[in-house]
Structure 1
């Protein structure tokens, strides 16, 4: 059965989509036979464009798959929405803006938190990993994503609100467990766009100051989460333009090594 991993945070702008796509790429390098499915469960559809798929050319998307859960609407099973990407063994369930309207229908469902889990169950035996790109809100898209996942990767950035958002996310997941009985097995924090302090040769240790990234890093360590760091890199923007994971553009770059470290950790049986 596929290991299902949600990339989520209550705070926006932390690089969830970028990290999701690049972890997908690295997982296919760790094991060339691994089959990875990225589920774009965000109406902004950034994971869709980030993997080189034009949402305007789609026949079906996750929106149509959600509609299929309601008898009065004509949708499609998830197998008809899966598309191949430029990367061998990375498939995608694409998204589109219409998905935002699906939340109105989801509100009417008896088990409205378990919709995505029901959608994914029939294909879990086909894939080794299912990665869910989750929007930054506390609504049904995030609730469904966390209900459907085995573990969560929580990207954070170097801002004063990161630790606060991380604490709130932990409470949010506890609420989901109390409400549904579903427990997320593992949480992994990724500090994105990490900037290390630059201490000049003439500066003493006393006069040097930690960067904001390093201060956030210390805060996360006190919370006892597994923590990985991704440095700022122009290669990220190049990969977004080309619609491919960084690992398949420049495999020797340091940032790829950072991503590979995370992917290796996530591939371990927990």
Structure 2
């Protein structure tokens, strides 16, 4: 009897009704992610190994044989003879690595801060929320640029290129934690007033155990939603920073770096160098965003009922 009161069952969604758009978004995002993960096995070329490049293949249009070598490239080549399709596959790996790792970092910091803030209340709650509010007054990209610049100043010049990816992960992850903290805090404020929390306090369960084993499982739904949407936003933020030249090194470019390179050739007629990386970025971010939107509706019956 007591056990049933204390360990309240986690809130689970009702039967999910998957629309055609959501199914298409899931298939598309899954395809793009798997293609990036298995890039070394499915990419026609290794675009970042100079020994495999041929400058005579440069600026070859899509699906047209090169005038010198006769090679055909599905998405064409850039000015250095790199296969655009292979560059997209390898570049997507870096973009997804940065986005996934930075989202995990934001999740770890934000959920921890939100749990402490919501359950403790008082001065601790006010302090954490004011810090979050102060950070939210500035654009996320500006915060990420500031953090990246400060972190890069602490790294020796010889290690800047090798540490660029990890600095980018830290910059994006640390700039996005307030959204997680505010969402988690609001959910904790609702959960801590319920009967199972009061029962756990009465029998002497520690605060840490109440938060981690009773409250946290019951707020997993909102956390999953904001993590999915945050993942899509992290993809765009990484591309924005790389486009601005503050991301990964040009020797291992991401989708944002490929877009920045392609933009230089857009008005000279080589449209494919920009178009295909940009289209990949749009499809990847849009499909993940649609999945997050569906997950939000599925885990919130009131939202779902208003849309149906």
| TM-score range normalised by the length of the shorter chain | under 0.3
TM-score, with structure 2 as normaliser: 0.23
Which is greater in Rg? Answer: 2
Q: TM-score, normalized by length of structure 1?
A: 0.25
